[in-house]
């Protein structure tokens, strides 16, 4: 980190005062990409999180670190984004509820209880697992790409692969896969 600060300081103009130099250095630090799972990088509107053991949700802030057991709740016109690794992100749309189940770099598992999420994965190394659990299916990201998952209030689920590949196991135990520019629906079973 010290070497990075020295390199950034060397790139700043030499006629800059100490305070201006510190302000510019701070701005450049804020542009650095997070490589930790769960670092909140964007919030729009009302977004709250509830940590394990808490009775009520609290406001979420940019820079907060989400961990296993946290539940993220977005207002109707809100959204949130957190890191999954270098250039990989998990975005949550309005009126959504997502639980972070596993948040290690090698195993990421999110329960999408309702709402819409977008997942952007720049790389997925061998052995890394990214799972999206919905009421009627477990979705596994099989390749880097872009994915959208919508879960309605009754649990009906639509998964779209913009680019990449998803594998799934539905509530009946049936397995399958979805590839680029395709989607799959998982509906509430009829009695």
Q: Which residue has the higher pLDDT, 112 or 86?
A: 112
User: What value, to the nearest 5°, has the Cα angle with vertex 115 and ends 56 and 110?
Assistant: 75
**Tens digits of residue pLDDT in 102-125:** 988 789 999 999 999 999 999 888
Is the pLDDT score of 81 beyond 90?
yes
Tens of pLDDT along 127-147? 899 999 999 999 999 999 999
Q: Which two tokens stand for residue 92?
A: 């949550």
Q: Higher-confidence residue: 183 or 1? A: 183
Q: What is the model's pLDDT at position 34?
A: 45
Work out the mean pLDDT of the chain and round it to a whole number: 85
Give pLDDT, residue 85. Answer: 87
pTM summary value: 0.79
With 60 as the cut, is the pLDDT of residue 148 above it? yes
For the chain, where are the E strands, in sequence order?
40-44, 47-50, 58-59, 71-74, 79-85, 88-92, 97-103, 107-121, 129-134, 137-141, 145-151, 157-163, 165-170, 175-179, 182-186
For residues 15-24, give the mean pLDDT: 49
* C-alpha count within 13 angstroms, C-beta hemisphere, residue 8: 17
Least confident of 3-7, 47-51, 83-87, 128-132: 3-7
CA atoms of 17 and 116, how far apart (whole Å): 47
């Amino acid at each position: 980190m010290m070497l990075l600060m020295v390199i950034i300081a060397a790139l700043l103009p030499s006629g800059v005062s100490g305070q201006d130099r510190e302000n510019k250095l701070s701005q450049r630090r804020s542009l650095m990409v997070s490589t930790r799972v769960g670092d909140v990088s964007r919030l729009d509107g009302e977004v709250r999180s509830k940590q394990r053991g808490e009775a009520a949700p609290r406001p979420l802030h940019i820079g907060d670190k989400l961990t296993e057991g946290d539940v993220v709740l977005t207002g109707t016109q809100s959204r949130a984004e957190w890191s999954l690794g270098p250039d990989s992100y998990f975005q949550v749309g309005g009126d959504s509820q997502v639980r972070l189940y596993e948040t290690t770099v090698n195993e990421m598992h999110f329960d999408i209880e309702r709402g819409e999420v977008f997942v952007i994965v720049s790389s997925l190394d061998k052995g890394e697992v990214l799972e999206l659990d919905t009421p009627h299916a477990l979705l596994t990201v099989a390749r880097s790409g872009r994915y959208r998952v919508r879960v309605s209030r009754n649990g009906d689920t639509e998964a779209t692969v913009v680019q990449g590949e998803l594998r799934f196991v539905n509530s009946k135990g049936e397995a399958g896969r979805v590839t680029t520019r395709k989607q799959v629906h998982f509906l509430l079973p009829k009695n």
